Structure 1
Amino acid sequence: MYKEPIFLQPIFQERIWGGQKLHSEFHYTIPYEKTGEAWAISAHENGPSQIINGELKGKTLLEAWNENGELFNKSVDNSEAYPLLIKILDADDNLSVQVHPDDQYAREVANEAYGKTECWYVLSAEEGAELIIGHHAQTREELEQLIDQGKWDALLRRVPVKAGDFVYVPSGTIHAIGKGIVILETQQSSDITYRVYDYDRTDAAGNTRELHLKQAKEVTTVPHETPSLNQTVLNKDGLKETQLVEEKYFTVYHWELEGEVSLERHADFLQVSMVAGEGTITTGEKTYTIKKGDHFIIPATIDSYQLKGNGEFIVSHPS
C-alpha cells in the first residue's frame, strides 16, 4: 500500500502580466521572463504536474488519477476529472478583468468538465495593491450598458489587500488580481476564462488579447453578492488551523505550525502547499524534509502523519 506523500513539480505558464517572483520568492527555476503561474497541484490536461518521488515518480498527477484511483479514494466507476487545481500567481502587472462560468454553462457551452469557482490566499502584496472583486451594476441591463460604454471605473468594485488576506470568488464573479500581488489560488480544475477588459494592452506583435463579452454578460451574477465565509480556528498542539472556506467544491485551510503535531487525514485526500518556513513530514517510518514552495498530496492510503517545524501551509480537499 502506498505510504508516501505524493510530491509534485509545478508546471509554469508564461503570461503577459507575469514576472520573476516565482524565482525570487520561491526559488523555482522558471522558464520565462514573464512567468505568471505555477500550476503546483494540477491534473488538468493543459498542464499536469509531475510526481517527483516514490513508485509513481515520472508519472503526471493526471495519469495517477486515471490509473491509481485508490490513492484518492476514487470509486472504480468514477470517470470524473480530478476536481481541483492549485496555482501560485505572480501579478507583475494587472491581470485582465474576467469572469468564469458555473458547471452547467461550462459543460453545455465550453465543453469543460467543470466551471470555475476559486479562492485566493494573498502571499505578498506591495503597498497600495488592490483586487477587483465584483461590480456595482444593480441590473443585467445596467451591467451590459456599462460594459458596452467602457465605463470601467463606474462598473468595477476595487478592494485593497495585504499579505494574509483571503478572498472567495464564486463562479459568476467579475474579478482581477492587481499589480504587485502574489497569491495561492485554489480552484476547480478548469481553464475557462471570459475576458471582460484588458486595459487595451498589446502583445509583442501589437495585437490586443481576445475579449469574451457575450459570454461574460451571460454568466456574470447580477447584482454582485459578497459571500459570508464563517471562518473557524482550531488549535492542536503545535498547529493553529484556520478554516478559510467550506463550500460546495472545496474546503481550504491555513495552517500555522510551531513545533510538532500528529494528525489524522480527514478527507479522501489532502492537497498541501508550504508557503513559508521549513520542517518535516513523517508517514509510517519515513521522514521527508519540506520547505517553502513544496507541494504534495497526502493520499487516501495514509491515515495519519506527523508534522514538525515552523511554517505556514495552505491545505485543501474536495468538499
Structure 2
Amino acid sequence: MYKEPVFLKPVFQERIWGGGKLQELFNYDIPSQTTGEAWVISAHENGPSIVMNGELEGKNLSEVWRNYPQLFGCDITDREFPLLVKILDAHDQLSVQVHPDDHYADESIHKPCGKTECWYILDCEEDAEIIIGHQAQSREEFQQLVGRGEWSKLFQSLKVKKGDFVYVPSGTVHSIGKGIVILETQQSSDITFRLYDYDRVDHEGKKRELHLEQAMAVMTCPHKQVVQDNLKESMNNLESTRLIEGEYFTVYHWKLGGRAEVPLTTGFLLVSVINGTGQIVTKESVSTVKKGDNFIVPATIGDYFIDGDLEMIVSHT
C-alpha cells in the first residue's frame, strides 16, 4: 500500500480578514476573494482533507488515519490525527487571540487537545508586523490595560519578513498582521479565544464574539519568549534547516537543488511545497510535485529520493 506520496486536496475557509493571495501565489481554486485559510493537511472535523491519488482516492484523511494505521507507522488507538497544516492569507489583521493548552482543552471544553502552533512567513508586505506576547507583568495589570483600551501599551509587536519563523506555544497572546501569508503547523485543534478584534463588524454589521474570560484564564502571564536555534545540515543537494523541535511537532525547511536521498524515518512526514518543481522517485513510482502541493510521505513508502529545484516545509510528530 502506497509506495508513493499521499496527495491531499486543500479545504478552504472564508474569513472576515481573508483575501485572494492563495489563488495568486498557489493557483488554488478559492471560493471567494475573502478566503483566509487553506487547510492543506487536515483530519480535523471542521475541514478534513481528501486523498487525491491511489487506492484511497476520495476518502478523507480522518477515516484514512483510523482505518489504515500502517500508513503512519504508529499505534493510533484512541488518538486523533495529531497535526494540522494551514496556509493563511491575512489580507487584513487577524484578531488578537490566545489558545489553550491540552489540560484546559480537556478539562474545561472537553476537546482532545489544545493548540500550540508555529508560522513560516511565505510572503508579506514591507514593514509587516505580528503581535507576539504582551507587556503586562500580572493578570491585574493586563485587566487594567484591557479595561482602559490601551492596546498599544499591552500588545508586543514584531516586524517580520519573508522566510522568518515564529513559534507560538499555547497560552501566547498573538495576531498575524495585515499583508502576511504564512504556513502554519499546529496541533489539530480549532479552539480560539479572541481578546480584541479592532471593533470590526461582519457583513451583517455585527461584531465578532470575544472570549475575554477564557483568554485571561489560559494566557501566559508574564509573557515568556521562546527562542529556538535553527539547526542547518547539508546532505548532498539538500539543505535542511530544523526550525523547531518541540513537544508536539518538529518542523524543517528543506531547500533542494538536484537529486537528494532522503533520510528514512520510522513514521510519516507532512510536506508542503512552497516553491519550485521536482519529482519524488521510489522503486515503484515517479510523482511530480510543484509549488502548492501538499502530501504525506507514508511509512510504507520504502526507499526514495527527491529530484528538482524545490523548497518545502516538512513536519512530523
1:52 equivalent in structure 2: 52
Trace 1:25-104 onto structure 2 (pairs within 5 A).
Answer: 25-75=25-75, 78-104=77-103
SS at match of 2:29: coil
- Native 8 Å contact 1:264 1:303 kept in 2: no
- Native 8 Å contact 1:267 1:317 kept in 2: no
Question: What stretches of structure 1 move > 4 A for 4+ residues in a row?
Answer: none
2:10 equivalent in structure 1: 10
Q: Structure 1 residue 75: deviation in Å?
A: 1.7
- Whole-angstrom distance in 1 between the partners of 2:266 and 2:292: 23
**Amino acid corresponding to residue 29 of structure 1 in structure 2:** D
1:154 equivalent in structure 2: 153
What TM-score, normalized by structure 1, do the two folds share?
0.98
**Amino acid corresponding to residue 23 of structure 1 in structure 2:** Q
2:122 equivalent in structure 1: 123
Deviates more, 1:246-255 or 1:135-144: 135-144
1:214 equivalent in structure 2: 213
Once the two structures are superposed, residues 180-226 of structure 1 have per-residue CA deviations (whole angstroms, 9 ceiling, x without a partner) of 00000000000000000000000111100000000000001011111
- Whole-angstrom distance in 2 between the partners of 1:128 and 1:22: 21
SS at match of 2:26: coil
SS at match of 1:63: helix
1:239 equivalent in structure 2: 238
Once the two structures are superposed, residues 249-272 of structure 1 have per-residue CA deviations (whole angstroms, 9 ceiling, x without a partner) of 000000000011011332410000
Deviates more, 1:188-197 or 1:139-148: 139-148
2:249 equivalent in structure 1: 250
2:169 equivalent in structure 1: 170
- Native 8 Å contact 2:73 2:266 kept in 1: no
Matched, 1:106 2:111: no
Question: Alpha carbons of 1:267 and 1:186: their partners in 2 closer, same or farther (altered >3 Å)?
Answer: farther
Q: Structure 1 residue 85: deviation in Å?
A: 0.2
Once the two structures are superposed, residues 256-289 of structure 1 have per-residue CA deviations (whole angstroms, 9 ceiling, x without a partner) of 0001101133241000000001111112221011
- Native 8 Å contact 1:281 1:287 kept in 2: yes
Give the paired residue count. 317
Matched, 1:203 2:207: no
- Whole-angstrom distance in 2 between the partners of 1:211 and 1:288: 45
SS at match of 1:144: helix
Deviates more, 1:37-46 or 1:279-288: 279-288
Q: CA RMSD in A?
A: 0.9
- Whole-angstrom distance in 2 between the partners of 1:7 and 1:72: 14
1:313 equivalent in structure 2: 312
What TM-score, normalized by structure 2, do the two folds share?
0.98
1:19 equivalent in structure 2: 19
- Native 8 Å contact 1:102 1:117 kept in 2: yes
SS at match of 1:315: strand
- Whole-angstrom distance in 1 between the partners of 2:93 and 2:109: 26
- Whole-angstrom distance in 2 between the partners of 1:303 and 1:243: 23
Identity of aligned residues (%): 58
- Native 8 Å contact 1:265 1:302 kept in 2: no
- Whole-angstrom distance in 1 between the partners of 2:147 and 2:112: 30
**Amino acid corresponding to residue 107 of structure 2 in structure 1:** E
Q: Structure 1 residue 136: deviation in Å?
A: 0.2
SS at match of 1:153: helix
Which stretches in structure 2 are left out of the alignment for 5+ residues?
A: none
- Whole-angstrom distance in 2 between the partners of 1:304 and 1:229: 31
- Whole-angstrom distance in 2 between the partners of 1:304 and 1:221: 44
- Whole-angstrom distance in 1 between the partners of 2:215 and 2:61: 31
- Whole-angstrom distance in 2 between the partners of 1:180 and 1:89: 11
2:193 equivalent in structure 1: 194
Once the two structures are superposed, residues 59-116 of structure 1 have per-residue CA deviations (whole angstroms, 9 ceiling, x without a partner) of 001110011111112326x111000000000000000000000000011112211100
- Whole-angstrom distance in 2 between the partners of 1:245 and 1:80: 23
- Whole-angstrom distance in 2 between the partners of 1:159 and 1:101: 22
Which stretches in structure 1 are left out of the alignment for 5+ residues?
A: none
- Whole-angstrom distance in 1 between the partners of 2:264 and 2:34: 37
Trace 1:282-293 onto structure 2 (pairs within 5 A).
Answer: 282-293=281-292
Q: Structure 1 residue 146: deviation in Å?
A: 1.4
- Whole-angstrom distance in 2 between the partners of 1:42 and 1:129: 28
- Whole-angstrom distance in 2 between the partners of 1:101 and 1:143: 18
